[in-house]
A and B are shown apart, each in its own frame.
Chain A
């Protein structure tokens, strides 16, 4: 009678150990998956290169004559100040900038097949009496110039981001691109 009771205890013990192993494996699996998709953007050199090369692209917009075509990066300054220059089909500077980047991101897919991307161009002023590198000012003082968003973060796997900084008067233009590969 006692031996049977002991056998039952042993079986119970084995069942507990097996259950703990199964639950442990499930938690380990969940942890490994979540650590791969943690929602944190990784800095990507490819995106940095894409942004810097694209900003240096010569546009069809000119200011002082047909040989004075402006770079895409220069259009950011004109768009920010509201200065209109001559673009094809009388397109406004900001519209040209917006359309060109939308087209590029749609067609070139700089970081693989993207499920989501957000291009955010903004102006960040320097704080008074401080050099640019020491500047730490609230995000509320940033002035948004262009924002292009496509897709949904729900469709995300690997998140990559990059940015470029262009010097401007009393501040910087910051071009920031966040991307996420489609599932």
Chain B
């Protein structure tokens, strides 16, 4: 009888050991799995944001390349996105075009040479201004996406006309923000 009790407690101990081992292994695997899930979902969010951002930047570049805004072929050097400021000012703040662009907001900003304060462009103050607002939707509160562009216009120097290009940025807010 005594031998049976001893054997039984030894077996119980073995079972306890096994249970502890299985539990430990289970918790460890759970931890690794949770870490993997956290890592992969964090990456997924980054990838989705990066993709959305790339799409928005491509959209901005696409808008700049549209015939309504693009520069003549002979301007500038190399491959670059160029916006004709003389065309853009004609399209600024025209509500009838807001559906045509299919974005919540769309503006072009001259960023270099740097200006002291933002000045919205109108046909009266152009080119002594730095913000050409093409579309401004009042409900648009989301973040703007931007891409660098060349902002070119025809300039007059001592009765000689030439193309003057400055560094600009197109800022858009796409319609669907996920």
- Contacts A45-B54, A54-B167, A110-B148 given; indicate if A166 touches B160 (C-beta within 8 A): no
A18: chain B residues within 8 A (beta carbon): 24
The answer to whether A164 touches B78, judged by C-beta atoms less than 8 angstroms apart, is yes
Q: Which of B81, B162, B167 contacts A67 (CB 8 A)?
A: B162
User: Which A residues are closer than 8 A to B by beta carbons?
Assistant: 2-3, 6-7, 9-10, 13-14, 17-18, 20-21, 24-25, 28, 32, 45-46, 49-50, 52-58, 65-69, 71, 73-74, 103-104, 107-108, 110, 164-166
The residue on A at minimum CB distance from B9 is: A3
Q: Which of B21, B81, B150, B158 contacts A57 (CB 8 A)?
A: B150
The answer to whether A3 touches B13, judged by C-beta atoms less than 8 angstroms apart, is yes
The answer to whether B31 touches A56, judged by C-beta atoms less than 8 angstroms apart, is no
Chain B 74-91, CB within 8 Å of chain A: the 1/0 string? 011111111000000000
The answer to whether A57 touches B27, judged by C-beta atoms less than 8 angstroms apart, is no
A2: chain B residues within 8 A (beta carbon): 6, 10
The 8 sampled A-B contact pairs (Cβ below 8 Å) are: A21-B28, A45-B54, A52-B79, A52-B81, A55-B78, A56-B152, A108-B114, A108-B167
User: Which B residues are closer than 8 A to A by beta carbons?
Assistant: 6, 9-10, 13, 16-17, 20-21, 24-25, 27-28, 31-32, 35, 39, 54, 57, 61, 75-82, 111-112, 114, 147-150, 152, 157-158, 160-168
How far does the Cβ of B145 sit from chain A's closest Cβ, in whole Å? 10
Q: Which of A32, A46, A57, A74 contacts B147 (CB 8 A)?
A: A46
B81: chain A residues within 8 A (beta carbon): 49, 52-53
- Complex CA gap A49/B150 in Å reads 9
B114: chain A residues within 8 A (beta carbon): 103, 107-108
Q: Which of B79, B148, B165 contacts A58 (CB 8 A)?
A: B165
The answer to whether A53 touches B149, judged by C-beta atoms less than 8 angstroms apart, is yes
The residue on B at minimum CB distance from A50 is: B148
The answer to whether B57 touches A46, judged by C-beta atoms less than 8 angstroms apart, is yes
The answer to whether B150 touches A56, judged by C-beta atoms less than 8 angstroms apart, is yes
- Complex CA gap A131/B123 in Å reads 49
How far does the Cβ of B160 sit from chain A's closest Cβ, in whole Å? 3
Q: Which of B112, B160, B165 contacts A107 (CB 8 A)?
A: B112
A68: chain B residues within 8 A (beta carbon): 162
- Complex CA gap A164/B167 in Å reads 16
Q: Which of A7, A10, A17, A66 contacts B157 (CB 8 A)?
A: A66
The residue on A at minimum CB distance from B71 is: A56
The residue on B at minimum CB distance from A47 is: B148
- Complex CA gap A165/B6 in Å reads 84
The answer to whether B76 touches A71, judged by C-beta atoms less than 8 angstroms apart, is yes
The residue on A at minimum CB distance from B112 is: A104
How far does the Cβ of A3 sit from chain B's closest Cβ, in whole Å? 6
- Contacts A2-B10, A21-B27 given; indicate if A56 touches B80 (C-beta within 8 A): yes
B27: chain A residues within 8 A (beta carbon): 21
The residue on A at minimum CB distance from B13 is: A6
The residue on A at minimum CB distance from B166 is: A57
| Other A-B pairs beyond A32-B35, A56-B78, A107-B112, 4, CB < 8 Å | A10-B20, A21-B24, A56-B150, A58-B163
- Contacts A24-B31, A166-B77 given; indicate if A58 touches B161 (C-beta within 8 A): no
Q: Which of B35, B54, B78, B163 contacts A166 (CB 8 A)?
A: B78
> Counting chain A CB atoms within 10 Å of each CB, which of B54, B76, B166 scores highest?
B76
The residue on B at minimum CB distance from A69 is: B162
